[in-house]
Amino acid sequence: MHKKLLLTGTAAIFTALPANAMAQAGNQFADQGPEDDEIVVTGSPIAHPEHESIIAASVLTKEELASRGEASIGELLRREPGVSSTFFGPAASRPIIRGLGGDRVSVLDAGIGSIDASTVSDDHAVAVEPATAERIEIVRGAATLFYGSSAAGGVVNVFDGRIPDKVPEGGVDGALRTSYGTVDESIETAGGFDVLLGKIGETSIVFHGDGYFRDTEDYEIPGFAESAALRAAEETEDEDLDHDEEEAFGVVENSALQSKGGSFGGSLIFPDGFIGVSAKIARSRYGVPGGHHHEEEEGGEEEGEELVSIDLEQERYDLMGELNKPFLIFETTKFRFGYADYVHQELEGAEIGTTFKNEGYEGRIELIEKEFGGFRGASGFQFKRRDFEAIGDEAFTPPNITNQFGAFTVREYETGSWHLQVAGRYEHTDTEAKSVGLKREFDAFSVSAGVGFEPNENIFLGVNALRTERAPAPEELFSDGPHLATNAFEIGDPTLGLETARGVETTFHGELGPVSLTVNGFYTDYKDFVSLSPNGEEEDSLPVFEFIAQDTVFKGFESQVEADLFTAGGFDVSGRAQVDYVRAKFKDDGGDVPRIPPLRSILGLEAESDYVDLRGEVEIAADQEKIAADELPTEGYTLVNFAATFRPAGRDSGLSVQLRADNVTDEEARLHTSFLKDVTPLPGRSFKVTLRGEF
């Protein structure tokens, strides 16, 4: 049913395009190019507009982010083409790109890692705060060549501006936002500012400050926390079980969160670039929903159980700069360094069960060459250190230290309508767990070659072939213990080798009069793809899952069309439709890879004017029945969302009030990509009001 609705709804947006718009375009593209395309700096050291990127990449601007108000990066980006989320409750949610997550998707803080423990487990929140984000760039597909093994599936690069790179107009600018939501009684406030402190000759001194606060209660849902499939399975095992009395209904217990933090920074901005520093602190405490708890036993008898919450804190210090002053063959030098001390404690009631610590640093330097006869190039190197330790009941991974160094280069050539690009990376990784006497070293080589064809400024076609290698994560090598977040006893394999991916990606971008169309396709063949699979045994009353390497294939696409439809009553009306799909199978036995998102479509209409913007959106996900042996099928869903933004003094005033209604039909919706999908659905009907001011 949901699949039929999805396909029917996707077709509807095309048939709704006005006939006169299509007639204007005919078989030719308009003369005007995509002037509003954002420059993408994440996909390659040589920046390109979105519509000229051989690698599938996109940008969320400050204006787009201002209309969203999610508590985690995963939920903030979940409706982007090709992106889903792990959804371990509203606080802990990492992005999943084309079915890949964990250590294969890098969440970056202005170009370098978040330096936290979010890749260790899905219940660990990312220490990058969406409330202060000013710009987010998404790279879909392997970005290993420029960001290392942890970017084998894609990159989410978050820029929050805490190190200023330009002088604010008028000497000061900033924004303040506050909101209230009904589904979880949420209260959120966030704000930041840049101010010009003074000048020394041609050098400007700019100071930045920002902060945020968020407080929510357990969120409401339309029915039982457990899915119908899980309830049926449990009733089969225990016919006397009375779910109406025992199971949570109408609310997801232990899903409340409180978070706060802030940063300050400063930069020296001069005619040829800038250099700046910043300090940031983030603090969060949130419940781990889904019934994950520890049982205390005495004399072999169960004494009781405590819900688990997480108390997280990170201190971080950063240095960033850019020099646009030519020397030798180079015209631009960029450098970035960050150090962070991260700790989070998993609390069983008032007692500390497990403490996770991660102290690390990361840096990168990029040297961009002068253009010569159509040739362009850039090279750089990256280094990082991760000192990780887990102490307590759920220390399923022994303390380990990882050092990594990588060097990369990209070469481009343009001639007429053709764009050629080749890139390569060498990376050395050594990982050691001294307590168990294990150490591994890896040397990885990755290469790619792409070609783009741009017959005119309105059409771009690109093809990129790649061969990348990923070193296994410490958790995949050294795990050996109970992991209650995944309800498994996890066992790593210290003999794992490099994971090798061979693939091809295609992209098309076109401007057909008032219609903009983007389509990306991908096919990736993995040798020794590392996944967590059950072996049929039990340990500590938990099913045993092992990290094993299997040959695997991922394939799929994402597409998006946007159209200017008509003007009426002072409103410019536009439409949008997107569809994405991933199929992933193990080659040896033909089994399905777990937690792969289903076919999904999002349809939207928007009406804009100087004083009022109106938006409606329908998200349709198909049933997911292509499942792994240990999974239950997931029912599809249709979510309807509305928003209205009012600007009392006009578009340029900086003052706005937004009213949002999400999941207005109060439908039960579950993400197949989540470990908790059968015990933790998405929030029910929600109303939210947000007041925003800019100065």
The pLDDT of residue 663: 97
The pLDDT of residue 305: 57
What tokens appear for 488 in the block? Answer: 């498994």
Percent of the chain at pLDDT exceeding 90: 75
> Quick check: 551 pLDDT over 60?
yes
Mean residue pLDDT across the chain: 90
Distance between CA 123 and CA 293 in Å, rounded?
13
pLDDT digits (tens, 9 = 90+) for 597-656: 999 999 999 999 999 999 999 999 999 999 998 899 999 999 999 999 999 999 888 899
Beta carbons of 649 and 657 less than 8 angstroms apart: no
The pLDDT of residue 205: 98
* Confidence bin at 541 (pLDDT 50/70/90): confident
* Confidence bin at 42 (pLDDT 50/70/90): confident
Least confident of 54-63, 185-194, 308-317: 54-63
Helical H runs in 324-482? 474-478
> Quick check: 581 pLDDT over 80?
yes
Q: Look at 283 and 242; give whichever has higher pLDDT.
A: 283
Q: What is the largest CA-CA distance in the chain?
A: 81
Q: Look at 362 and 589; give whichever has higher pLDDT.
A: 362
pLDDT digits (tens, 9 = 90+) for 271-326: 999 999 999 999 999 999 976 554 444 444 444 456 889 999 999 999 999 999 99
> Quick check: 175 pLDDT over 60?
yes
What does DSSP say about strands 571-586 and 249-251: parallel, antiparallel, or unpaired?
A: unpaired
Count CB-CB contacts under 10 A for residue 565. 19
The pLDDT of residue 308: 87
Beta carbons of 186 and 214 less than 8 angstroms apart: yes
With CA atoms as reference, report the closest residue to 654 among 689, 691, 688.
Answer: 691
Residues whose CB is less than 8 angstroms from the CB of residue 469 and which lie 6 or more positions away in sequence, other chains included: 144, 149, 427, 444, 445, 446, 498, 499, 500, 501
With CA atoms as reference, report the closest residue to 128 among 86, 156, 149.
Answer: 156
pLDDT digits (tens, 9 = 90+) for 395-438: 889 999 999 999 999 999 999 999 999 999 999 999 999 999 99
What tokens appear for 71 in the block? Answer: 């508590």
CA angle 359–362–365, rounded 5-degree value: 170
Residues whose CB is less than 8 angstroms from the CB of residue 170 and which lie 6 or more positions away in sequence, other chains included: none
Beta carbons of 409 and 427 less than 8 angstroms apart: no
> Quick check: 381 pLDDT over 50?
yes
Residue whose token pair is 């992209």 = 507
The pLDDT of residue 38: 78
* Confidence bin at 28 (pLDDT 50/70/90): very low
What does DSSP say about strands 301-323 and 330-348: parallel, antiparallel, or unpaired?
A: antiparallel
The pLDDT of residue 486: 78
The pLDDT of residue 144: 85
Residue type, 690: T
With CA atoms as reference, report the closest residue to 597 among 87, 48, 89, 171.
Answer: 87
Query: Exposure pattern of 387-415 as b/e (b: 16+ CB <10 Å)?
Result: ebbbeebbbbbbbbbbbbebebbbbbebe
**How much of the chain is helix, strand and coil, in % rounded to 5?**
10, 55, 30
* Confidence bin at 137 (pLDDT 50/70/90): very high
Q: Which helix (H) or strand (E) holds 13?
A: helix 2-15
DSSP string spanning 223-250? EESS-HHHHHHHHHH-TT--HHHHS-EE
Distance between CA 476 and CA 376 in Å, rounded?
39
> Quick check: 33 pLDDT over 60?
no
Beta-bridge mates of residue 277: 266, 319
Walk across the sheet containing 57-60 and list its strands: 57-60, 135-140, 154-159, 105-109, 112-113
Distance between CA 514 and CA 493 in Å, rounded?
54
pLDDT digits (tens, 9 = 90+) for 645-695: 999 999 888 899 999 999 999 999 999 999 999 999 999 999 999 999 999
- Find the mean pLDDT for residues 19-34: 37
What tokens appear for 25 in the block? Answer: 């375009």
Distance between CA 484 and CA 543 in Å, rounded?
11
With CA atoms as reference, report the closest residue to 628 among 582, 671, 595, 670.
Answer: 595
Give the C-alpha distances (Å, rounded to integers) separating 319 from 164, 272, 362. Answer: 11, 17, 11
Collapsing DSSP states into helix, strand and coil, what is residue 180?
A: strand
The pLDDT of residue 48: 84
pLDDT digits (tens, 9 = 90+) for 503-513: 999 999 999 89
The pLDDT of residue 240: 54
Distance between CA 565 and CA 420 in Å, rounded?
36
Distance between CA 603 and CA 576 in Å, rounded?
6
- Find the mean pLDDT for residues 56-79: 89
Give the C-alpha distances (Å, rounded to integers) separating 615 from 75, 76, 79, 406, 603. Answer: 19, 17, 15, 45, 11
Q: Look at 28 and 545; give whichever has higher pLDDT.
A: 545
Q: How many helices (H) and strands (E) does the chain have?
A: 8, 36
The pLDDT of residue 653: 87
The pLDDT of residue 353: 86
CATH code of the region 2-694 = 2.40.170.20
The pLDDT of residue 25: 35
Least confident of 61-75, 379-393, 623-637: 61-75
The pLDDT of residue 583: 98
Q: Supply the pTM of this predicted model.
A: 0.91
Percent of the chain at pLDDT exceeding 70: 91
